[in-house]
Amino acid sequence: MVLELGGEVCNEFCEKITHLVCGRIVRNEKLLCSIAKGLIIVNEDYVVDSHAQSKWLEVDNYEWGSNHSLTKHGLSSQRFVSFALACRRWRLKIEKNSNQRAFHNWKALFYCGRHRFTDLKRIIDFGGGEAYLRQIDDVCSLQGFTVALVEKSRFWNSKEVVELIKNNIQCFGIDYLATYLTLEEACEVEKHFHKDYVIELNRISRC
């Protein structure tokens, strides 16, 4: 159907993609990359109905996050609703300034395994940010980093947290990468701080 309408279907997620078609909201790498890049994210009815009309229709009623789409599909949980709303919110925001994608000005330091990092780095990259894995051979200084995302790492300890605080680097659990895309207010950030980071902040404030 897409080809008959003059479009192109991409098997690999790449920079030239303009739309993501998904039958339902699933928190996976493709969805997060698409939100972070500001792509138009539509449900599959968009392709079917456009094919029936022999032309690409306006996306308004098909875009995830639109009032029509939310009403029609009745998402089962608030978390799915949050991701659906994020699709449209980030698309409109990035449309105003394509140089400022979701992770613009992020220089993220990951504390996790290499395989996990590879997947998450793609999301940061598509969102216009930078991502590095905390390793002794490629991160010599913590200066310049804006955020740390933590899962599990031999480098993660109380001494490391103190150094991150000294460098004004906020620390979060690794799931914050996805959660950040759903936040509507900047004031919501603090409640997502990593527990070890909060402990050290409180300890330092008492000294």
DSSP 90-135: HHHHHHH-TT--TTTT-EEEEES-HHHHHHHHHHHHHTT-EEEE--
- pLDDT value at position 1? 80
pLDDT (tens digit per residue) in 35-89? 999 999 999 898 888 889 888 888 888 999 888 877 777 666 788 889 999 999 9
Would you kindly state where each structural domain of the chain is located, as residue ranges? 2-96, 107-205
- pLDDT value at position 137? 52
Q: Which CATH code is given to the segment(s) 2-96?
A: 3.40.50.10190
User: 88-100 in b/e burial notation, b at 16+ Cβ within 10 A?
Assistant: bbbbeebeeeeee
- pLDDT value at position 140? 62
Phi and psi torsions of 105, nearest 5°: 70, 5
Low-confidence ranges of the chain (pLDDT < 50): none
Whole-model pTM: value is 0.90
Q: The domain at 107-205 falls in which architecture? A: 3-Layer(aba) Sandwich (3.40)
The total number of residues written for the chain in this structure: 207
